[in-house]
Amino acid sequence: MSIPAPEGLADRLAAIPLGTSTGQAHARRYTATRSVFNEGRSTKLVAEALDGSDYISLNYYDLARGARLAPCEMPAAKVIAFVLAYKPDT
């Protein structure tokens, strides 16, 4: 099930490098993989804590009727908090 994407989520999601990156969120280190499809209109993000303690998976869709977020079998609040907090290594 998808929900309307919160304001600013698209920009934060786009700030995560394409392909695989490492970074941190909520005092944990993660490996994150961001892929784009459909000429940039849909995004897939999968992240896993390096210590194996957490997993994030979501799809984001930029639709004509508005942006939609589809968490994969986890609460929307969890994936939103991750995207807003994730800071890739530089």
DSSP, collapsed to helix, strand or coil, labels residue 35 as strand
d(C-alpha 75, C-alpha 90), whole Å: 29
pLDDT at 58: 98
Instruction: Answer yes or no: are the C-beta atoms of 72 and 58 closer than 8 Å.
Output: yes
Which positions of the chain have pLDDT values less than 70? none
pLDDT of residue 32: 98
Domain residue extents for the chain: 3-88
Per the prediction, the chain carries an average pLDDT of: 96
Reported pTM: 0.94
In angstroms, the CA 25 to CA 68 distance is 23
Summarised one tens digit per residue, pLDDT across range 21-46 is: 999 999 999 999 999 999 889 999 99
Residue 4 near residue 68 (C-beta atoms within 8 A): yes
pLDDT of residue 40: 86
| Residues contacting residue 69 through CB under 8 Å, at least 6 positions apart | 2, 3, 4, 5, 6, 9, 58, 59, 60, 61, 76, 79, 80
